[in-house]
Amino acid sequence: MSDVMIEARDLTKRYDDVLALDKVSMTVRKGEVLGFLGPNGAGKSTTMKILTCFTAPTEGTAKISGFDIQEDSLAARAAIGYLPENNPLYPDMIVLEYLEFAAEIRGIAKADAKKRIKMIVEQTGLGAKFAQPIRTLSKGYRQRVGLAQALIHEPPILILDEPMSGLDPNQAVEIRDLIKEIGRSRTVVLSTHNLAEVQVACDRVLIISKGKIVADDTPDGLRERAGKARFVVGLIDGGPVDGSKASTDRAEKVLREVGGVERVRKLEAEAGEVRFEVLPKGTDDLRPALFKSAVDNQLTLIELSREGQNLEEIFRDLTTSAAKSASIAPAA
């Protein structure tokens, strides 16, 4: 039991008439990187604000590293490093000044603080920027400052609210790698609405929708749970398929008539190639049937592969329809 770092029980938050969180429970263990996934307004930030003791739940409780968020709020907060949404910082402060301030508030002794700051500046790659006012930094560097602030006291738990939103793709990858590295020795909860980030960075995913947890699984497990694979069929654009709409429609029709196929969709492809996505009705491997059908119809096959269904589709399925989500949600 001692490796449970975050334990939330039936967290409910009501803002006037709006139910922002509806009995959210979760357990996060030591060393886990948990992705908190959901559309905007689903309750991700509210959950994080409750766990970090910024706001109190209307009902329910949570323990952070064994400390109750209401009764032992100071001890709970001491165990957390937190990067709030939009990474608010004091623009007029110099990076070093800000980190010193954070270290002082965290009760780190002066001599230790110097060492810690040096280490953290190195770890987050802030090296050249630590004497600059925060307002002059790019968004990527500001994000590093926010992370450095959250890491200054070597917290066992890191809570990051949309740490990669608003960054350009290069910055996002850099920050994601940084989080991955940090996550090796810590428990990390990060929220996002970007699925690719979750797939790369997280061990476990919680999907939240309309204030309720609708799925709790590993990224792979989620994909498996959604069950169906998808097949990609690539044909040479030549011979029977000659680039005209009529010929691609014909090829599409051939694929659709293969037994066990539910849906066929044309995909983007490079010149000289036509690609289709084939979704099966069941879980059978359709590759032999697709191959045979292509040969029988004199279509030149250049690609035939089976892929797990995209996380994005699972996410859409889970968060758009309450009825569907109920069937996939754990029986908690």
Partner 1 sequence: MSKTLTIARRELTGYFNGPAAYIVICLFLILLGIFFWSPFFLVNRSSVRGLFDMMSVLLLPTTAAITMGLLAEEKRTGTIETLLTMPLRDTEVIIGKFLGALALLAVLLVLTIPYPMSVHHLGRLDWGPVWSGYFAVLLQGAAMIAIGVLCSSYTENQLIAFFSAGMISFAFWIVSRFLPFVPTQIASFIEWISFDYHYENMLRGVIDSRDVIFFLSIIGFSLALAFRSLESRRWS
The residues of the shown chain that bind partner 1, judged by CB under 8 A, are 15, 49, 52-56, 74-75, 77-78, 80, 82, 84-86, 88-90, 92-93, 97, 101-102, 104-107, 133, 149
Backbone angles phi, psi at 302, to 5 degrees: -115, -10
Write the Ramachandran bin of 318: left for phi over 0, alpha for psi from -120 to 50, otherwise beta: alpha
- Tell me the chain's radius of gyration from C-alpha atoms: 25
Residue 149 Cβ vs partner 1, minimum distance, rounded to whole Å:
7
Q: Which is nearer to partner 1, 76 or 264 (CB)?
A: 76
Q: Which is nearer to partner 1, 152 or 207 (CB)?
A: 152
Q: Which is nearer to partner 1, 93 or 119 (CB)?
A: 93
Residue 316 Cβ vs partner 1, minimum distance, rounded to whole Å:
30
Residue 290 Cβ vs partner 1, minimum distance, rounded to whole Å:
53
Amino acid identity at 174? E
Amino acid identity at 195? L
Q: Which is nearer to partner 1, 49 or 129 (CB)?
A: 49
Residue 153 Cβ vs partner 1, minimum distance, rounded to whole Å:
9
Residue 229 Cβ vs partner 1, minimum distance, rounded to whole Å:
43
Residue 199 Cβ vs partner 1, minimum distance, rounded to whole Å:
28
Are 150 and 83 in contact by the 8 Å Cβ rule? The answer is: yes
Q: Which is nearer to partner 1, 86 or 298 (CB)?
A: 86
Q: Which is nearer to partner 1, 56 or 295 (CB)?
A: 56
Q: Which is nearer to partner 1, 93 or 289 (CB)?
A: 93
Residue 160 Cβ vs partner 1, minimum distance, rounded to whole Å:
12
| 273-280 β-sheet, strand order | 261-267, 273-280, 229-236, 301-308
Residue 280 Cβ vs partner 1, minimum distance, rounded to whole Å:
47
Q: Which is nearer to partner 1, 93 or 279 (CB)?
A: 93
